[in-house]
Structure 1
Amino acid sequence: MKPFVFQHAQDVWPEGETLLHVYITPHDQDRELAELVTRAHDVLRDFPITLVALPWLHITVDQITDRVGAAIPPAERDALAVELGKQLASVEPFDIVIGSLMSYATGVIADVHPDEPLNELHTTVRAAIQAVRGPGATGYPTKVPHLTLAYAAEECDSDQVQRKLRNEVRPGHAPMRVDAVHLVDVTADAQAKTITWDQVATIPLGKGS
């Protein structure tokens, strides 16, 4: 496992800048997920890995890549939120499963499945971003959805991490409800290996309000 590097499109995140993202975040009522993450964190404290605190857990749906956050004024942010709302009105809320937990090349992630509703959500969100800002605004590479539990701060033995996760975090799965996405302005601290954000808008799926 090697230290994690935060990414802007296919390059390194520019130091001191924020970036707009669309995230899925857990609800307070996702108690089984909170318990799963807490058990995993207890295991991971033995390693040089920065834990993602519960309030900052997220699944990245997409990243707006044509400008840094400070260069996207309120009116353009509002336009993004409006278009996301229009297009996501046709995507119904759904349930997913978080897990199994995996020691990865640069941290610890939880797999997320089933793929189909998440892929549909990503396609719809990307279309909404492109409708407002053009195809150049979605340069973030499409990845298999996942939820990150920790970012590697130093090199460590990923096999050892995986063994402890599998042996000590039982069960390794938890349910999660997806009924909204969040447009957020994200700050990445490359040294501390942390992600935090300011909320821009919450966009419900389907006909939620």
Structure 2
Amino acid sequence: MRAFNFKQGKAPWDSGTLLHWYVEVDWDDPRHDALAQLVTDSNQTLLDAGFPVTPVEHRWLHITVDQVSRPAHLIDQAERDKLVAEVSHRVATIAPFAIMIGSVLSYSSGTIADTHPDHQLAALHAAARDATRATLGDAACQYDFGVQHLTTAYAYAEADSDAAQRLLRRVRPSHAPLHIEEISLVDVTATSGEHGKTITWDHVAAIPLGARR
């Protein structure tokens, strides 16, 4: 485990904000109480053991569907409106769905929770990526999608990943459901400090899934 570095596409993300497509967690939904407990227990386990991690506040937990890799201040209102319209059209045929979150894993950049199954998240990514490409071109599509996850804590110093994983494996229950009913366009700020890293954002738009039913 080593300190996490934020990326703008494949390059360092050193300043400014970036638009992202996120799946957020609706914490007002009691179906997510188990997820809240899983995240809390996992983070507290590592903190109690002295690991150099900064837990993600529940309100900032998310799954990154895609990043718009052009600085947000260079995307005007007309382009933002088109992004929303393009994604709205594409996700209208994707019905709300549920996935399982967990187990929580010690990772090179902190701790992440696995997601399963993958195909519906991949469909959301394809919709978001196609909308970004149609609106802003290929240069704004530099984010590496990879295997999806929900980041639960960021590392701010080096630590023994194997030791962290042994502790995380003892957290039970190890899985919890996440119900996904919309995709959000958000304007994200990444902040790094000596003893912490955070991702925060301002909302731009929320687009419901399955509107064409």
Does the TM-score normalized on the shorter chain lie above 0.5? Answer: yes
* Aligned residue number for residue 81 of structure 1: 84
Partner Cα distance (2:138, 2:208) in 1: 24
34, 41, 44: which is aligned to 1:42? 44
Q: Secondary structure at the match of 1:36?
A: helix
Matching residue of 1:22? 21
Q: Deviations over 1:17-74 (max 9, x none)?
A: 0000000011111111111111112112131111100000000000001x21122122
Q: Name the TM-score, length of structure 1 as normaliser.
A: 0.95
Alignment of 1:160-179 (within 5 A): 160-167=163-170, 169-179=171-181
Partners of 2:184 and 2:25 in 1: CA distance: 11
Larger relative strand fraction? 2
CA–CA distance in 1 between the matches of 2:102 and 2:163? 18
Letter of the 1:94 partner, please give it.
F
> 1-side partners of 2:76 and 2:132: how far apart?
15
- Structure 1 gap segments, 5+ residues each: none
Q: How many residues align?
A: 206
* Correspondence for 2:58 among 49, 54, 59: 54
What is the aligned partner in structure 2 of residue 128 from structure 1?
131
**Aligned amino acid, residue 204 of structure 2:** V
Q: Give the Cα–Cα distance (whole angstroms) in 2 for the partners of residues 138 and 132 of structure 1.
A: 11
Within 2, Cα distance between the matches of 1:130 and 1:91?
A: 19
Shift of 1:77: 1.2
Deviations 1:183-208 (A, max 9, x none): 00000012231000000000111118
1:133 Cα deviation after fit: 1.3
Measured in 2, the distance between the counterparts of 1:44 and 1:19 equals 30
Q: Which residue of 1 aligns with 2:111?
A: 108
**After superposition, what is the alpha-carbon deviation per residue over 1:128-147, rounded to whole angstroms, capped at 9, x for unaligned?**
11111122211111210000
Partner of 1:157: 160
RMSD of equivalent CA atoms:
1.3
Amino acid in structure 2 at the alignment position of 1:201: A
Q: Give the TM-score normalised by the residue count of structure 2.
A: 0.93
Query: What is the letter of the counterpart of residue 8 of structure 1?
Result: Q
Distance apart, 1:5 and its partner CA: 0.2
- 1:185 alignment partner AA: D
In 1, the alpha carbon distance for the partners of 2:46 and 2:57 equals 13
Partner of 1:145: 148
1:99 equivalent in alignment to 2:102: yes
Partner Cα separation in structure 2 for residue 121 and residue 182 of structure 1: 11
C-alpha distance in 2, partners of 1:204/1:92? 9
The equivalent of 1:119 in structure 2 is 122
Q: Give the match's secondary structure for 1:130.
A: helix
Q: Secondary structure at the match of 2:169?
A: helix
